[in-house]
Structure 1
Amino acid sequence: MTSYVALGSSFAAGPGIDPILVPGCARSGRNYAQLAAGRLGYDLVDVSSGGATIDDVLTRPQALLAGGTVPPQVQAVGPDADLVTVTVGGNDVDYLLTLLRCSARADPEGVPLPARAFFGTPIDLAAVHAALAVLPDRLAQLVGEVRRRAPRARVVLVDYLTVVPDQATPAFPMNEEHRLLCADVGRRLEAATAAAAREAGAELVTASAASRDHAVGSAEPWVTGWVFGDLLGGGVAPYHPNAAGMRAVADLLVEQLSAHPAR
């Protein structure tokens, strides 16, 4: 049986999509890895975790919002792995945090009271730009470590679904300056992932491109809008993949694996 290890952040884990298997990691039993593995009959080890950065995947235990830690995700990759998928990098560049801070400025009442002070903190654009500049090399380093641990595995980078719509809506409260800023960060995250795949020789699934017409507030959105669930318990998080989005990414991954021979 094909051995599959799934690594990544919340866009891999699937907060708010029932059933939640590991609340502290917001890991769904119907995220794209779970869906693809089920369809293909693969033996899946899914260690994706909401809030994870590249360091949390590579080198350090991740501190969870609800308390406790989980080991570095790459420890789940062994020499017998046949497939490893990776969706990470957004937290390294504060993508979601920037989205949330910008929407919180437009609609502070929409933020749960305990989180208002945090989301009201300044946006550090210099730090965001600096992190984006080094992201391709960081992702390529991660691919290299996966290959060191699993020399025969297919390594597939799966980038982030498109979040930002062409204009603000009630589901996406934000002024135009901030909307353009967030759209730019999303595009640069997409470009960084593609650059890393080229640099490291990994395969690439472009969920971003496939979801251009499925951003927040579209007729058929693949991501959630400005809504907060129980974040500590794996509930719905704003601007994250919804069930339809995860099904779409699973379709893209299955297509990639089926249409292209193993390397």
Structure 2
Amino acid sequence: MIASGSRYVALGSSFAAGPGISPIVDAPAGRSGNNYAHLVAQELGLDLVDVSYSGATTAHVLDTPQDAAPPQLDSVTADTALVTITVGGNDLEYVGTFLRGSFLNTVAKPATILGRRFANRIRARVSYLKDTASYGAVTESLTTVVEQTRQRAPEARILLVDYLSLVGPATRPRIDVPLNEEQLPSIALLADGLAEAFAKAAAATGADLVAASAASRDHAIGSAEPWTTGFTMLPPNLGGFVPYHPNAAGMRAVAGLILETVRT
């Protein structure tokens, strides 16, 4: 068990930062005061250093500044006791692909009045498939993140926390998931490849794996109690939300999974 008052560093992209979940404590990063890191730190009484940042790639964790923020690993010090890592989705353009496809499908629907061929050309501007090398590169990068984290904090408990599922058994094409029956399975395959990269990196490094993806399949978009948001073109200030991201219930669920792992 990690002692109260210990240093906890949270690394990652938007699925760790929690954009759109009130309160936002760092607007440029899209970082919420109710993301899983804050909930875990509050429950365990930890000294949280949350450097998660929306849009981050593994490079932004390892060695590349993001906006005015230094590489996230700079925050990991020798006295760090717990590190959580949720990153890699942007390396594969996981949510970006889902967003572009949904946007173009939404635009293409009224464009059918100009002809089905024209509308299909709009939809075809998104590629949903990634090659094996892309998934391998994410696995290698996650492995490097864990290895460099361990070099900086040899005594830290390191948790690889993968991404909440957006697509699950209850997900169907509809207004908040404007993809067709051919496109949705491709997004699911992309998500599976990302989850496998996390599992392989955990196995290679000995880091703990928090498989949020598997735990959330029955809470994907379209389920009775979704842990992620669907699609909208409305911005938050006009009644919309951040599409295809964790909601508050999802963050609470991931925090619960982390607490269960840490207490084991």
The TM-score, its normalising length taken from structure 2, stands at: 0.87
Asked if 1 retains the 8 angstrom alpha-carbon contact of 2:7 and 2:80, the reply is yes
SS at match of 1:107: helix
Alpha-carbon separation, structure 2, partners of 1:99 and 1:120: 12
Asked if 2 retains the 8 angstrom alpha-carbon contact of 1:5 and 1:44, the reply is yes
Q: What residue number does 1:249 align with?
A: 254
In structure 2, which of residues 12, 29, 34 is the aligned counterpart of residue 8 of structure 1? 12
Q: Which amino acid aligns with 2:31?
A: R
In structure 2, which of residues 131, 136, 147 is the aligned counterpart of residue 133 of structure 1? 136
Alpha-carbon separation, structure 2, partners of 1:195 and 1:62: 27
Larger radius of gyration: 2
1:84-105 alpha-carbon deviations (Å, 9 max, x no partner): 0000000001101111122123
Alpha-carbon separation, structure 2, partners of 1:121 and 1:176: 14
Q: What residue number does 2:64 align with?
A: 60
Q: What residue number does 1:178 align with?
A: 183
- 1:142 matches 2:141: no
Q: What residue number does 2:115 align with?
A: none
Q: What residue number does 1:223 align with?
A: 228
Structure 2: where are the runs of 5+ without partners?
A: 110-121
Asked if 1 retains the 8 angstrom alpha-carbon contact of 2:128 and 2:187, the reply is no
Q: What residue number does 1:81 align with?
A: 80
Q: Which amino acid aligns with 2:103?
A: A
Number of residue pairs matched by the alignment: 244
Map 1:138-217 to 2 at 5 A: 138-166=141-169, 167-217=172-222
Q: Which amino acid aligns with 1:190?
A: A
RMSD of the alignment, in Å? 2.1
SS at match of 1:45: strand
Q: What residue number does 1:50 align with?
A: 54
SS at match of 2:160: strand
Query: By how many angstroms is 1:134 displaced?
Result: 1.6
